[in-house]
Structure 1
Amino acid sequence: MNYRKSHFAFNKSQRNGIFLLVIIILILFYGMYYVNNSSSFNIFSTNEDSLVSFQHYIDSLKLKKKEKETYKIYPFNPNFITDYKGYVLGMTPAEIDRLHEFREKDKWINSKADFKKVTGVSDSLLNEISPYFKFPDWVIEKRKREKTKTAEKTELSFREKKDLNSATKKELQKINGIGEAYSTRIIRYRTKIGGFVDDIQLKDIYGLDYKTEQKVLEKFTVKNPPEIQKIDINKATLIQLSEIIYFNYELAREIIDYRILNEGIDTFEELAKIDDFPSHKIDRIKLYLQIK
């Protein structure tokens, strides 16, 4: 009769080995359990400390924001900004330090531009705080004198200006707003009328606006006008009137008819009663006509 040996039959030596293995496994499990619990506790404690620190940081930011919001700005001299005042104004420590270093050299800030250059603050902050800048009266007066002096210096005298009747297209095109088209129109019109008699005749240039016209007159003026013998409107013939640049033959005839009907013309303004009379050009018409 055959007997099969059971897989669970161990001798004494084998049983001791199994028992020792079980003990080692239990020790390992216990060690792992202890380490995990200890780490979790430490992590939790660390996280709790971090949350408390973070809350303190948030509270400090809120306090600083509240201080800035409740701080009322009064007019001040930007040369005497302290660390605290610079902070509540929104300046960075580097910007405040640059201001203090500049002042230590016994130099002074006398304008908004100076403050921007020295401190390097942003344009937005400068626009926010600059309305409160208060400089001494002597600084303000000095600034006004400098502006007046600059304005007077940039304005050319009659002698310094060039003659409008001899200006070339290239010279005219140096004026901002005068290009090829306008420079051509100015010279063509100048040739048509035999030369400008007065600066006001620039108004006759088609399309030339007032601003650009003034820019031209800052550099040019009529220095050598053509010789004009003014005609008495009450004695002028039809041909003489029709030759004036602002009249055509039909308008000249109407002026003669009006003169005869009213037994003479007393003022230029009454010519506006004539149909299609260019009353807006009376100031230029007076350069060629007179009333005696």
Structure 2
Amino acid sequence: MKKYTSGYSFWKKQQQRGVLALLLCCVILQIAYFLVDVPSSSAFSQERVIALQEQIDSLKVQESEKEKQYALSSFNPNFISDYKAYILGISAEELSRLQSFRETGKYVNSAKEFQAVTQVSDSLLATIEPLMKFPDWVTKKKENYHSYEKKTEKIIKKDLNTASIEDLLPIRGIGEKLADRIIKYRVKVQGFSSKKQLSEIYGLSEDVITEVWKYFELLSMPEIIKLNINEVSKKELSKVPYLSHKEVDEVLIFRSERRTINSLDELKSIGFTPEKIEQLGWYLKVN
């Protein structure tokens, strides 16, 4: 010890005081560490955790209330979302069946149809059925089915060959464009000679055509002046509907080879189908 402190007497007074002060501070800090009760930071952290947990619980309650309200709101089963299905208890597999069914362009129009497609249980169906909401036309169709049949029986059909655009607009599936297209095509073919001609109009689906014939009929046939196929010129023949320029040339060549065409059925030998010959029969004759 003497070896390490022998030089202390040679230190300056200021240096000696500094060393003593440093030692004194170390002793005081040691005593304070053991004697002074410093508040633990863990107590503060625990209180903070409790407060945060209460906030989380409050948010969970609010979210639960929102989910209940969302689950109790009415919905159209044809447009149910993944989240709505989850809230109602519809499994992903059951929802997938509905989505596959909807991809075919079909709709479910009753709770029974919904169950048949999705295969949900009877207990789940009983819970969600009161929430199902279908379009008004589905409900009215069910409520007034018999009265609707009686109305259709009393329909007085109009003549499609004299119908106007205004007459066609009430037909389900026909707007102004389609109505105008029907009238223009009627002019082009010089009046409808067959119901088949309606299917030749671009944009008319089979369902719309069916609706048309519920309210219209060919009550009068068009007055078409038929041209003699043995005398008609190329210019006149070109104006006949259903004949392309190539087919016009084929008919004229065939006529020149035969000299006289005695029946339109002879055109089968140049590849004309029975349907084509029927169509030409509305505009052409053989004598």
Interval containing the TM-score (normalised by the shorter chain): 0.3 to 0.5
Q: TM-score, normalised by structure 1?
A: 0.40
